[in-house]
């Protein structure tokens, strides 16, 4: 008996790539990035507990141009993931499922995460 071909699942070549699909992928990516950023936070806390010399080394690394870019990205990742969680909570309550609302919430998530990141860095890093 000949094997029947298995059905194939539609792929990105079938679907039009939308903002909600992008935000779904980015939400997962920021969740992963938050693990790495939390390791950086734990390293800073461990250095602070270890002593002044260790803390100065970590602060020098984090204060470099590369460290600042990484910390800026971590800040954005935390805020974006948090806002994505709020967006999912709104959906869990049964709101925001209309086509315009889904895209609006996705765009709001992206824009608000960038604005909040810039606000946090302006207030607590660049003006400090």
Cβ-proximal residues to 120 (8 Å cutoff; 6+ apart), any chain: 75, 79
State yes or no: 81 annotated in a binding site: yes
Q: Measured on CA atoms in the order 10, 33, 87, 116, is the torsion positive or negative?
A: negative
Cα–Cα distance measured from residue 68 to residue 70, given in angstroms and rounded to the nearest whole number: 5
**What 8-state DSSP symbol labels residue 8?**
P
Angle at 29 between CA 26 and CA 35, to 5 degrees: 140
Annotated binding-site positions for heme: 81
Annotated binding-site positions: 81
């Amino acid at each position: 008996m000949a094997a029947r071909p298995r059905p194939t699942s539609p792929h990105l070549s079938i679907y039009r790539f939308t903002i909600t699909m992008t935000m779904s992928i980015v939400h997962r990516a920021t969740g992963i990035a938050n693990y790495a950023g939390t390791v950086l936070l734990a390293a800073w806390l461990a250095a602070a507990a270890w002593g002044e010399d260790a803390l100065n080394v970590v602060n020098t690394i984090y204060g470099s141009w590369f460290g600042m870019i990484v910390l800026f990205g971590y800040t954005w990742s935390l805020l974006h993931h948090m806002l994505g969680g709020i967006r999912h909570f709104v959906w869990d309550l049964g709101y925001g499922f209309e086509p315009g609302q889904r895209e609006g919430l996705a765009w709001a998530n992206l824009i608000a995460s960038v604005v909040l990141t810039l606000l946090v860095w302006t207030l607590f890093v660049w003006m400090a």
